[in-house]
Structure 1
Amino acid sequence: MNRSKWFFHPVFVFIFSILALGLSLFLYIYWYMEVSTGLEAVVRKFNIAPDQVLESETWVVIMVLSILVGIILAGIFTIFVYHQKTLQLYRLQHNFINNFTHELKTPVTSLKLYLETFLKYELPREEQSKYIHYMIQDARRLSDNINRILNLARIESKSYNGDFIVADLVKIAKQFYAGNSHLFQNCEISILNASGESFLYPVNTSLFEMLLINLLTNAIKYNKSELPRITIRFERQKRQLFIHFEDNGIGIEKSHIKKIFRKFYQVGRADDMSAKGSGLGLYLVQSIARIHKGKVVAKSNGIGKGTVFTLILPLYESVRC
């Protein structure tokens, strides 16, 4: 536990709230007994009106009790909020474990089935090639899921490799697509830069490519079109660079737009297996964007109308070409 935030721990807040409550009750009883037993002696000794003594003591105690009650209420509210967040995190993790287990188990089961088929039967070359192709897809799927976990650990621990260099983002995107076109054989990807200018930006190349692969594979995964289409469009608006990733996928309901970047969040429920993926891809995307001093926002007109993910980065005069 972080020592600088130990006083925000719910256990400490709860104990402190109970102590505050007990102290308030003690002070109230103590004040009541003191006033009741000492009021007559004070009046006789100083020959003053009882209302004057009671009025002064009353306002002091009311102020103290009000502060203590405020502390109690704040403590209870903090515990409630913490409990709700903990419950939400538990549900997200439960959903993640169920679906990620499915994501790992499915390709492993498939690989086992194909290998057993190879072992039992003599297959013609054409059939062998078909099964090997399926096995490569399953191995790639398994590798992608494992890499997401490893990448998440590196990013959150800030142990990712590579330095930040000033590079042209349009060029990086084109080189990435050219070097990984085999991953997108069954879809159409366009990279557009209407202005024709170079957008130089301090970037960690490996992380930026990780952002690209997650956004592109996400657009393909959530797409039911015969030919998935993705357009990467570069646009400068004043001192900001907007990189739009537009797809013709299944779209996103407005109620999910702000939630999809949360860790472990998946659209759908774990009990009916309607959620896809690990719930880490878009969280990684947003984390990488923040490392680069930017952010990613999503926009969709609804189910069946595609989605636009936009990476927003600040442009600096010193690196603008």
Structure 2
Amino acid sequence: MNITRRRGAIATFITLGVLLTGLTVFLNITWIIRIRNEGHLALLVLGIILFAILVAGVVLNTIFLVREIRRNERQDSFLNAVTHELKTPIASIRLYLETLQRRDLPEAQKQHFYQVMHADSDRLLSTVEQVLKAGELGQRHRQQQNRTQFDFEPLVAECIAITLSRHHLPPEAIVLDPVPGAVRLRVEGISEDLRTAILNLLDNAVKYSPTRVQIRCALAISNYTKVALSITDQGLGVPPKELKLIFKRFYRVPGRYSVKIKGTGLGLFLVRTIARQHGGEITASSNGHNQGTTMTLTLPLV
């Protein structure tokens, strides 16, 4: 209902803008013809200038209203996603706790319940941390304090190990190619923020590989002054027209599978924000649906 209502509002504003523009053109042309016939050249020039300003104002106002409606739609989708991400693990934990409280279960089943509740609590904590991190990064500009120099490869390896453990994957699911020539890739920045960025990229690759998780990570030197981390999956892929939009706040790729994939629409926005705060960039490439995706995080070397 909300989506249909917003689309109707967008169509209404566009139609109203077109009608107002058409009416303005008609009235102005009528006025120009009259002034021209009367020979008032100065009024003719003034009328053309005012007409251009008026038309530009109507067009800009329509564009602004449509953008605001779409922004509100993304924010509502984000709130719905966050509500789901918070409510689902809480409901699951409560159900298992009530079962443990009311029934005398075998020890093996109790341990299984504990593992599920632990996983649900990790998911809950991850969602909360992601929302908090988005607010923190949104208010913080490039911080110089707390920045240190460290090797980038061990940080990537650590994030891969965390992702494998978090999603209960075998070691071969995520592979890190050895760095050519055993070069030390040192970067400068806030290691906790970069860890968040890499974990978000890896989690995204796992989430959008619903049938088979096969992710390859590679580190390489780019343009002699930068390190590039490429994370390639064999998952659902991204339509070419969406490759730049996926890094916007709250944005999720529309389609039949995006509804089923859990998420808040903040992960890639956080990655881009962190990359830019460290003087780097994040790009995405994909050949389309079911063709996999490659995310490339580029950071300056020390």
Q: Which TM class, normalised by the smaller chain length?
A: 0.7 to 0.9
After TM superposition, give the deviation of residue 213 of structure 1 in Å.
1.0
RMSD over aligned CA atoms reads 3.1
Secondary structure at the counterpart of residue 260 of structure 1: helix
Name 2:133's counterpart in structure 1: 151
After TM superposition, give the deviation of residue 259 of structure 1 in Å.
1.8
Change (3 A) 1:195 1:68: farther
Correspondence 1:141 to 2:123: yes
Change (3 A) 1:250 1:133: same
After TM superposition, give the deviation of residue 182 of structure 1 in Å.
2.9
Q: Give the letter for the 1:86 counterpart.
A: E
C-alpha separation between the residues in 1 aligned to 2:181 and 2:200?
Answer: 26
TM-score (norm 1): 0.75
Contact 1:300/1:307 (<8 A) preserved? yes
Q: Give the letter for the 2:216 counterpart.
A: T
Name 2:284's counterpart in structure 1: 298
Contact 1:268/1:275 (<8 A) preserved? no
Secondary structure at the counterpart of residue 241 of structure 1: strand
Farther off after superposition, 112-121 or 150-159 = 150-159
Secondary structure at the counterpart of residue 312 of structure 1: strand
Correspondence 1:63 to 2:45: yes
Q: Give the letter for the 1:92 counterpart.
A: R
After TM superposition, give the deviation of residue 286 of structure 1 in Å.
0.9
Name 2:198's counterpart in structure 1: 212
Name 1:170's counterpart in structure 2: 153
Correspondence 1:182 to 2:168: no
Name 1:76's counterpart in structure 2: 58
Deviations 1:41-80 (A, max 9, x none): xxxxxxxxxx9xx75xx22222222222222122112111
C-alpha separation between the residues in 1 aligned to 2:125 and 2:135?
Answer: 15
Change (3 A) 1:138 1:280: same
C-alpha separation between the residues in 1 aligned to 2:266 and 2:163?
Answer: 21
Contact 2:237/2:289 (<8 A) preserved? yes
Contact 1:246/1:309 (<8 A) preserved? yes
Name 1:86's counterpart in structure 2: 68
Change (3 A) 1:176 1:94: closer
Secondary structure at the counterpart of residue 230 of structure 2: strand
C-alpha separation between the residues in 1 aligned to 2:232 and 2:51?
Answer: 53
Contact 2:142/2:278 (<8 A) preserved? no
Matched residue count: 270
Contact 1:108/1:138 (<8 A) preserved? yes
C-alpha separation between the residues in 1 aligned to 2:55 and 2:182?
Answer: 59
> Identity of aligned pairs, percent?
27
Change (3 A) 1:264 1:235: same
Q: Gaps spanning 5+ residues in structure 2: where?
A: 1-23
Q: Give the letter for the 1:165 counterpart.
A: T
Change (3 A) 1:65 1:195: farther
